[in-house]
Structure 1
């Protein structure tokens, strides 16, 4: 009876405070480490709400696109996004910078205001200075002028970590999860995800060919644990097809609900070339879609209609995710063969995505509206054909 009570209480806590307990994973990689010289900013979102979609806004000064909860209708919040000036912002709940129940400005409120009003990191900093009370948060941001930084924001002040500063980020990248380096370091919520992400990037540094595709395949879909020295995605002959899944410790957490990689621009190109590479739903069962501000957005990443606010793509990813987890009482096991096998889901999804990445990287930024519409239509057909095939 005590065990059942424990799990019931745990589930109640997850539903009430999903962002605080589960958090997110973020990485900034500067252009000196990428194969095309463009910076990258990751937001792997964890939360209790599985349904996410894309929304476009006409802000006070600038237009922008953003990730939102599907039931969201107020039009004054943004969980991450990018505006027409090339400013992209993400956030991670921070649990060691103060009281998160203080009634201050939440991260979605700050991000919405920043995308609507700010064109670069300097203006974002001015916005932060104008706000008197925050819910403690780590904000990640890149802009079209080469700016790249994390802002660890406490209740009433903030600390900047400039990823372009060798004394701050000697290797040209930084990782954040749900603790802040300017906070109480005895509290390190999300340390397992931080160590895994940091190690994966560090191991690849010498190649200097980081890309959005690399981040999705190696970070967003990672089942690696540095503390346990294992990777669930590595199939071995003497290991069963299923493995107990400790939900909150992996980057590809059971509670991951969306993955977004913002690919900024070089200082010599237009902000309109920035891309919001977006995966709605659970990363191992979803598909990446490239999006840009002030361009057409495919219908399948937006709400279906006025009464069903979920996106088709997110619904499909969640449906497939249900097949990957095997319930064993109060625990869940991961069906490794279905997910990681040679004919498993990830190999097939990556194969379809490979063609999409290649096509868009070659010409996508120069697509006419007609060509972009055709590109989205063809990709949608491939995605839906696959989802139907594996039902």
Structure 2
């Protein structure tokens, strides 16, 4: 497996090496890139780049340099766009409209299926995805214009699907708050996914919308293990804080649920029932799971992360994943890409079904209200009177 980074060294020769091996080139040990609060251990070139970089030993690596406390700052990049509403027709998801105020995500989740999208910006899906954040400063004004168009047909908008709308930088920029204010004003339904307790800041808007059945919030709860969460999703809220935020929204009358996503074989799969139970205890009315997805660059990045943090089980994790993906790291086929196939997939589906039935989750399918929508008063075209 090829990894990329700048800090590496040549491994010592074994004293027991044979004469034949003694004439071989030294083996290069490529050390992972480790930064405090960052998830990726690599900065691979994007798949659209014309050049690729390879790691090599230049002799400048200092002893124990990998143990130094290194940080990597977040860089903000202005993202210009004519539209903020994205439309899709995938049969695997329940929404056709979505909004993502940010591209890239500071949470640094190593498993994030959106990482490869950073290649479209000319950045690395690795460390660049979590340190170079593109944002749309005029997103609120663009949304108002789009909702004011006569061609707009009201349908629930999914907020925070590709990248989290409540990631840490939102505390400063407040873009998601602005978008939510427009949706609340227009009584436009919205379905939210987040893993940050910052959403508690917006309880006033969410509770107001919930009274008209205009909102539901799904929390991504991947594990209850604080240490595993710190390694997998270093800048997201801790699992306990997510559950506390879920309880706070439920108390305010906001419908909440959770996504056990992604399910990673031999890493967090044993926690499925415990996560569902915790969700129920915090007022959740629904819960679902999805299997780990490794599109494009993730098929190299995730195994490298496993080898760094969980070397003893890395090969076992990837073996089960491939058994659920037809022998490949990933299969994008509709119908199976979210759950996989084969005996392991059947086992996980059965476990989920039994746990959800026992807890009484997913008993009601909530359809958001689309009848209360009213275009913004100050749209692009002024009224005659």
Give the TM-score taking structure 1 as reference length. 0.27
Bigger radius of gyration among the two: 2
Name whichever structure is richer in strand by fraction.
1
